[in-house]
Chains A and B, each alone.
Chain A
Amino acid sequence: MLELRDLSFGYGARTIGSSVSLTLGPGEILALLGPNGAGKTTLFKTMLGLLPPQAGDVLFDGASLATLSRAERAKRIAYVPQAHAALFPFKVRDVVLMGRAAQVAPFSAPGRRDREVAAGALDRLGMSHLGERPYTEISGGERQMTLIARALAQEPKILVMDEPTASLDYGNQMRVLSHVRRLAAEGMAIVLSTHNPDHVFMVADRVALLHEGRLAGLGQPAEVLTPATVKRLYDIDVVMGVLPGGSFQVSSPRLNTGE
């Protein structure tokens, strides 16, 4: 469905990453793991069409992203930014409704069907009770869920999530990941970035390791994400294994205390 073909990306003349090729199918979760500065954000921006590819191409169902209008892109690929502090106290319902922008003509306002889709998106995430609350007064976890609902209101085929668990407390991290899993089970293709190997094991079907702008590994988490690759990416020694009674692999780091 989504294909990156030998993609080079960067800002202006500066190349951040190159030779990235990968594909994503319906219902699949692809995790992107890589240290700060590896180019995850730039890669996302290129996938979303915010930056033009420097070489190679981003294809959606075989059609180059560059041939689609912004509105056409927004109907296919939705972006979930990190939960941010909003400036204006829009109601949660109105924030989600903004996901309909691609469907609403420039000079008009959302109609009945748009409102139904937005309400449905909130409902799907169990957020309906928050609809009337100002976005500025809800918790970080609720904001992240609101932004996911907004992305769902776009009725996309693909979700691109930028560190969806960053700056959330432990409970909210797990709630967001459960929803990610559920959305994929319903057929959504999802790309998400993370720094936490545990989260990759929990939700990802495949993982792409990004190191200094290049793919340092691509495949099933159990095969690709090993103590050796974590050492290479983050320069941290870890041991991995399934805890007694646990259902996922976990990664346990060894701290360098200088002793």
Chain B
Amino acid sequence: MTPEADISRANRKLIVLGVAGLLLLTLGSMAIGKYWVPPGTILRALAAGLTGGEANVDPIQQTVIWNVRLPRVMAGLLIGAALAAAGATYQGLFRNPLVSPDILGVSAGASLGAVLAIFLRMPVPVIQAMSFCGGLLAVGAVYAVGAAVRGRDPVLTLVLAGVAIGAVVGAGISLIKILADPYDQLPAITYWLLGSLTAVNRADVASILPAMLLGLLPLVLLRWRMNVMTLGDEEAQTLGVDTRVTRLALIVGATLITAASVSIAGIVGWVGLVIPHIARLLVGPDFRRLLPASIMLGGGYMLIVDTLARSVALTEIPLGILTAVVGAPFFLWLLASGKRDWS
């Protein structure tokens, strides 16, 4: 029994268990809502929709399942998975436990794009597109600054550039909030900044899928290199890794998936910060296991949070509020319990 065979066997077990858990969660989440739909009905409706056959399902239920709940559940899974995967990547890359997917300003940039689009009364697809572009632009600017500064620790430079550019972008957001129509635009902006999946439809999910898959690709391919990157820039270089190219590929991947999720869901904090910690406690720091574990935990966590968000109260609760209420205490507990995760 070589340790490596252990890893792939343990990984297979992890993925089978995780996928089974996620399927159950998905079914449960689709059953819960304004009114209860029995899981059996859901399965029949899904099967009928896929095969194009006739289902013994009330057409209203069929519509609710296919056009409302399925896209929303899919979006929740995707966004949770994306944020957790990006968080795990950035925490390793920047060797810092307090790092979340927006460390390089992707959320701030995406927010500015979206807020500007709302201010300009653009339609929803344009808001999403501007948010996506804003996120990429902000990270691009941070990376350009980081690359222009030579002779300093490149990782620290990136983080500090992220803080500075994030502040400038934040100022832009505040300015637009002041200028926005307080009765109409400001609530929309505030709601967007707190994160929500309320308006998500099938087209939205389809629109972010390519960016998600494209962004995930370098993370999966570089899964072992990522371990070496956690040693820091100089050590990784002396071990023969081209750290500039590797870091760029990982940052581009993590930024793409973060920007894609922020573009349809708004800012959902804490997931990308907390989930990788839990995943690390469960499966250890090896990125080959940490990545799948983070993806599945993140997807499942977001599914539960979104189900709560749309079912516990009469009005929907913004996701960012719930994730913070659950995430922050957990993080404090992690801090106080002195788990020897980070020494």
Interface residues of A (CB under 8 A from B): 11-12, 45, 48-50, 70-75, 77-79, 81, 85-91, 93-94, 98-99, 101-104, 106-112, 115, 136-137, 150, 154
Q: Please tell me if the beta carbons of B2 and A94 are within 8 angstroms of each other in the complex.
A: no
- A62–B284 Cα distance when bound, in Å, is 44
Give the residues in chain A near B280, CB-CB below 8 Å.
88
Residues of B within 8 A of A108 (CB): 224
With a CB–CB cut-off of 8 A, which chain B residues contact A89? Answer: 284-285, 340-341, 343
A71 touches B240 (CB 8 A): yes
A107: chain B residues at CB < 8 Å are 221-222
Size bin of chain B's contact surface: 35 or more
Q: What are 26 A-B interface contacts by the 8 Å CB criterion?
A: A48-B238, A50-B238, A72-B240, A74-B238, A78-B238, A79-B235, A79-B238, A85-B343, A86-B343, A89-B343, A90-B284, A93-B3, A99-B239, A101-B228, A101-B236, A101-B239, A101-B241, A102-B241, A104-B224, A109-B4, A109-B223, A112-B2, A136-B343, A137-B340, A150-B239, A154-B239
A110 to B7 CA separation, bound complex (whole angstroms): 12
Q: What is the distance, in angstroms, from A158's C-beta to the closest C-beta of chain B?
A: 12
Name the 5 nearest CB pairs between A and B, nearest first: A102-B240, A74-B240, A88-B285, A79-B238, A71-B240
CB of B151 within 8 A of CB of A11, answer: yes
Encode B274-314 as 1/0 by CB contact (under 8 A) with A.
Answer: 00000010001110100000000000000000000000000
Option from B236, B237, B286 in Cβ contact (under 8 Å) with A94: B286
The total of Cβ contacts below 8 Å across the A-B interface reads 95
Give Cα distance in the complex from A2 to B269, angstroms: 52
Taking the nearest CB of chain A, how far is it from the CB of B1, in angstroms?
A: 12
Contacts of A110 in B (CB 8 A): 4, 224
Shortest A119–chain B CB gap in Å is: 9
Interface of A is mostly: mixed
**Residues of chain B lying within 8 A (CB to CB) of residue A91:** 284
Chain A residues positioned under 8 Å from B221 (CB to CB):
106-107
Residue of B nearest to A12 (CB): B151
B228: A residues at CB distance < 8 A: 98, 101
Of the candidates B2, B239, B342, B343, which one forms a contact with A74 in the assembled complex, judged by CB atoms under 8 Å apart? B239
B263 contacts partner chain A, Cβ-Cβ < 8 Å: no
Whole-angstrom distance between the alpha carbons of A193 and B73 in the complex?
A: 59
Distance in angstroms from B218 CB to nearest chain A CB is: 9
Given contact pairs A86-B343, A94-B286, A101-B240, A50 touches B234 in the complex (Cβ within 8 A): yes
Given the complex, which residues of A lie within 8 Å of B2, measured CB to CB? 112, 115
A86 to B223, CA, bound (A): 19
Known A79-B235, A86-B343, A87-B95; contact A73-B223, beta-carbon cutoff 8 A? no
Q: Report Cα–Cα, A107/B238, bound state, in Å.
A: 19
Residues of B within 8 A of A77 (CB): 238
Q: Are B237 and A87 in contact (CB under 8 A)?
A: no
Instruction: State the CA gap A235–B288 with chains docked (Å).
Output: 52
- A103 neighbours in B (Cβ, 8 Å): 240
User: Which residues from B are CB-within-8-Å of A49?
Assistant: 237
Contacts of A94 in B (CB 8 A): 227, 286
Output the least CB separation between A127 and chain B (Å).
Answer: 15
Contacts A87-B342, A104-B224 hold; do A112 and B4 have CB atoms under 8 A apart?
Answer: yes
- The residue of chain B having its C-beta at the shortest distance from the C-beta of A101 within the complex is B239
Q: Is B34 an interface residue (CB 8 A)?
A: no
- Residues in A whose Cβ lies below 8 Å from that of B285: 88-90
Distance, CA A33 to CA B117, complexed state (A): 63
Q: A87 to B237, alpha carbons, bound, how many Å?
A: 18
Residues of A within 8 A of B237 (CB): 48-50, 70
Q: Least Cβ distance of B263 to chain A in Å?
A: 28
Give B228-271 as 1s and 0s: 1 = Cβ < 8 Å from A's Cβ atoms. 10110011111111100010000000000000000000000000
B288 near A75 with CB under 8 A, answer no
A98 touches B343 (CB 8 A): no
Q: Which residues of B contact A111 (CB under 8 A)?
A: 4
Q: Which of B4, B222, B231, B246 contacts A115 (CB 8 A)?
A: B4
